[in-house]
Amino acid sequence: MIKSLETIKQPIREELRVFEKMFQNAMESPVPLLEKINNYIFERKGKQLRPMFTLLCAQLCGEINNGTYHAATFVELLHTATLIHDDVVDDANERRGSASVNGLWKNKVAVTVGDYWFTQALIISLKHKQYQLLEIVSHAVKALIEGELLQSEKARKLDIEEDIYFEIIRQKTASLIAAGCAAGAASATEDLKLIEKIRLFGEKIGIAFQIRDDLFDYGTDDVGKPLGIDIKEKKMTLPLIFALNNATRSDKRRIINIVKKHNEIPEKVNEVIEFVRGSGGLEYAEKAMLKYRTDAFSILHSFPSSPTRESLEDLVNFSTDRKK
Amino acid sequence: MVQSSRQVRSIKTIKRPIEKELKTFEQRFREDMRSHVPLLDKITYYIVQRKGKQVRPMFVFLCAKICGEIHDASYHAASLVELLHTATLVHDDVVDDSNESQGFFSLNAIWKNKIAVLVGDYLLQKGFLIALKNKRFELLEIVAEAVKEMSEGKLLFISRVRKFDFDEKNYLEIVRKKTASLISAACSAGATSTTEDTEVIRKMKFFGEKIGIAFQIRDELFDFVSNGTSKPLGIDLKEKGISLPLVFALNQASDSEQRKMINHINNDEKLKEVVAFVKASGGIEYAQKVMQKYRQEASEILQSLPASDARKSLEDLVDYVIERKR
């Protein structure tokens, strides 16, 4: 049912190549250490779903042009910068199976490299007078950081409710995906209503995407070991929130106590995972995820059928059905 | 906090031509910092509390005033510079894992690394947004370019420290990027806010650069010359890396002496020997000479501009940077 990324990329195959070139150019630097780190990042880049969303959304609204490439590059650069900083924030030594930047070069370097990316992305857009793009994306980045801060605050107090959870993921994940989609659309059309529609589409996808991510944490890793990374980092996600809301008072106290004080002990983390699994929290989150995905689809279906629309649908399925 | 001596005018006097503007700016800045995220509000409160002398906004307003009438764009320039400066300070806290910064508890000690990365990022974006919202694209580019150079400078610095590189040209390049670029941006952004004369803007940019470099060398000299504070000499050597007096001394030394001194830098008990070595080889006089050269160049740029209260204040600010006691 899920198509391969190669098939999904079909309508934008050439365009992705142009993007790739621009992205690589943006990463060039005369500072040797930076050049080394940039190459390291570039060789380990992810699936680059974000540029695909940007390019496809532009194509859906009109024609891909120079502004579209700038949008895709800008968003991917910012995304890269936030990942580098995220790994410092979470004290994570690994990213996608390799050592993270802070894992290899330490915090000091990682924070600086992230700052370099933020400003480099901004300068490129300013030099090309991409003001609308800057407007759309900058607000998303601010929301992203506010979302991360809100999450950190909640990780201290553990007093999170469902509405706050959705607010956090809307800000920290969905905002940048939404901005990437909107910026793609804005590069190809001047119709503000259309741009807003696409932004909303991106937001729904972003939320669905994050719920999927949070669900993974209750699955098992390659060798069948439970993950529970969020619990270790005291991140309360939808499955756990649901479980707590439907628990007896003593269960609730016991589970929160584990997350607060015993979140480093694997057996205790497993206890939380088992508790969530037993409470129907996973099914509940899955249902919520599907609702957002359906909303996204219905936005897409207001557009006439085309290979581009089909690829976007497939991309939505790919990013919400993915196993990893 | 500000020590004035007879020949050097106090910061308070220097501020006089822009007193009103600085006051308005302070209010605006506080409003800019406000956030609806409670955690952020708490943290920015600490930051505003521990604000130092606000040297950068002074440069912005004085350079703006030299070139024309201070207006809205000048305030945006000052906010932008100050927000980005604060952002990098907060990020430096993460980096150095220091427990003290500007004499107040650092963010780090209170809220830990994680929050400091995010708050720094937040302030960075906040600065960008203020500029974008007001369509100050030119100012934004000037200041963003400076932040990029600072990042490059920091990375070059780290590589240089790891390699024990004491080439003087590399030293100056790093100082220019790491320390001088933001002061330089403050000056050219200030000028840009009030004039379209690119020649004058260029002058102010170089003025800022020169004074920024002189400032850094002055800072480094404090490690070698007793200034009456209880801080032991040489204590900052390790953190600051190979400063100009040391660069000069190492370049005069034999291979074996070089190796010995480089090892000593990482050994707290041997720091006194490093200080003595630098003094004996004339490193201090050399650094003072270089500093005076930059001061001279900065003054010459000022002299090429028409006389005014603002220019006088900038001249005094140059003196202050060189003569300050800490």
What ipTM score was computed for the predicted complex, to two decimals? 0.89
Lowest mean per-residue pLDDT among A59-73, A89-103, B12-26, B107-121: B107-121
DSSP strands (E only) in B100-158 = 100-101, 104-105
Question: Which B residues in the span 253-272 are in contact with A, Cβ-Cβ below 8 Å?
Answer: none
3-class SS string, B174-198: HHHHHHHHHHHHHHHHHHHHHCCCH
Cβ neighbors of A213 (< 8 A, separation 6 or more) are A173
B151 and chain A: CB distance < 8 Å anywhere?
Answer: yes
B65 and chain A: CB distance < 8 Å anywhere?
Answer: no
- Other Cβ atoms within 10 Å of A205 Cβ, number: 29
pLDDT in tens, A141-196: 989 998 988 888 888 788 889 999 999 999 999 999 999 999 999 999 999 999 99
Is the predicted pLDDT of residue B228 greater than 70, yes or no? no
In 3D space, the residue among A203, A118, A141, A200 whose CA is nearest the CA of residue A167 turns out to be A203
pTM: 0.89
**What is the maximal distance between C-alpha atoms in chain A?**
60
Contact: B128, A32; criterion CB under 8 Å: no
Contact: A29, B96; criterion CB under 8 Å: no
Structure confidence at residue B163 as a pLDDT band (50, 70, 90): confident
Res B5: pLDDT: 43
Res B279: pLDDT: 92
Secondary structure class of A304 (helix, strand, coil):
coil
Q: At what angle do helices A162-169 and A131-157 cross, to 10 degrees?
A: 140
Structure confidence at residue B300 as a pLDDT band (50, 70, 90): very high
Res B2: pLDDT: 41
Q: Who wins on pLDDT, A311 or A154? A: A311
Is the predicted pLDDT of residue B1 greater than 60, yes or no? no
Res B326: pLDDT: 67
Question: Which amino acid makes up residue A204?
Answer: K
Structure confidence at residue B234 as a pLDDT band (50, 70, 90): low
Q: Which residues of A touch B155 (CB under 8 A)?
A: 31, 33-34, 109, 112-113, 116
Structure confidence at residue B34 as a pLDDT band (50, 70, 90): confident
Average confidence (pLDDT) over A259-267: 88
Res A205: pLDDT: 96
Is the predicted pLDDT of residue A280 greater than 90, yes or no? yes
Tokens found for residue A74:
């800008």
Distance from CA of A163 to the nearest CA of B (A): 15
Structure confidence at residue B235 as a pLDDT band (50, 70, 90): low
Is the predicted pLDDT of residue B109 greater than 80, yes or no? no
Q: Which residues of B touch A125 (CB under 8 A)?
A: none
Res B64: pLDDT: 98
B151 closest CB neighbour out of A119, A141, A145:
A119
Contact: A146, B122; criterion CB under 8 Å: yes
First to last CA, chain B: 10
Cβ-Cβ contacts under 8 Å between A and B: the total is 124
Burial of A96 (0-12, 13-18, 19+ CB in 10 A): exposed
Candidate ranges A57-71, A97-111, A142-156; pick with highest mean pLDDT: A57-71
Chain B contact probe: residue of A129, A145, A146, A233 with most B CBs at under 10 A: A145
Structure confidence at residue B90 as a pLDDT band (50, 70, 90): confident
B35 and chain A: CB distance < 8 Å anywhere?
Answer: yes
B95 and chain A: CB distance < 8 Å anywhere?
Answer: yes
Distance from CA of A115 to the nearest CA of B (A): 7
Q: Which residues of B touch A141 (CB under 8 A)?
A: 125
Q: For B68, which DSSP code?
A: S
- Signed CA dihedral, B212, B217, B220, B225: sign only: negative
- Other Cβ atoms within 10 Å of A310 Cβ, number: 17
Res A247: pLDDT: 95
Report the alpha-carbon distance of residue B54 to residue A202 in Å, rounded: 42
B9 and chain A: CB distance < 8 Å anywhere?
Answer: no
- In degrees and rounded to multiples of 5, residue B132 shows phi and psi of -65, -45
Res B92: pLDDT: 87
The length of chain B is 326
Percentage of the residues of chain B whose pLDDT score is greater than 90: 60
Count Cβ neighbours within 10 Å for each residue of B290-308 and write b for 16 or more, e otherwise. Answer: bbeebbebbbebbeebeee
Instruction: Identify whether the C-beta of residue A173 lies closer than 8 Å to the C-beta of residue A209.
Output: yes
Is the predicted pLDDT of residue B294 greater than 50, yes or no? yes
Structure confidence at residue B101 as a pLDDT band (50, 70, 90): very low
Average confidence (pLDDT) over B87-113: 61
Average confidence (pLDDT) over A32-42: 94
Is the predicted pLDDT of residue B99 greater than 70, yes or no? no
pLDDT in tens, B242-293: 899 999 999 999 999 998 988 888 777 888 888 899 999 999 999 999 999 9
Count Cβ neighbours within 10 Å for each residue of B61-99 and write b for 16 or more, e otherwise. Answer: bbbbbbbeebeebbbbbbbbbbbbbbbbbbbbbbbeeee
Secondary structure class of B70 (helix, strand, coil):
coil
B147 and chain A: CB distance < 8 Å anywhere?
Answer: yes
Contact: B128, A88; criterion CB under 8 Å: no
The number of folded domains in chain A is 1
Contact: A33, B119; criterion CB under 8 Å: no
Q: Residue A20 belongs to what domain range?
A: 5-321
Is the predicted pLDDT of residue A80 greater than 60, yes or no? yes
If interface means Cβ-Cβ distance under 8 Å, which residues of chain A face chain B? Answer: 29-34, 85, 88-91, 107-109, 111-116, 118-120, 122-123, 126-127, 129, 131, 134-135, 138-139, 141-142, 145-146, 148-150, 152-153
Candidate ranges A85-99, A142-156, B131-145; pick with highest mean pLDDT: B131-145
Contact: A88, B132; criterion CB under 8 Å: no
Q: Who wins on pLDDT, B312 or B268? A: B312
Tell me, which fold does domain B11-307 have in CATH?
A: Farnesyl Diphosphate Synthase (1.10.600)
Percentage of the residues of chain B whose pLDDT score is greater than 70: 86
Res B266: pLDDT: 76
Element (H, E) at A165: helix A162-169
Contact: B115, A145; criterion CB under 8 Å: no
CATH code where residue A56 lies? 1.10.600.10
Res B108: pLDDT: 47
Structure confidence at residue A113 as a pLDDT band (50, 70, 90): very high
B118 closest CB neighbour out of A116, A139, A145:
A145
Res B102: pLDDT: 47
Res A157: pLDDT: 81
pLDDT in tens, B37-81: 787 888 887 777 766 668 899 999 999 999 999 999 999 999 999
Angle, vertex CA A146, rays to CA A143 and CA A152, nearest 5? 145
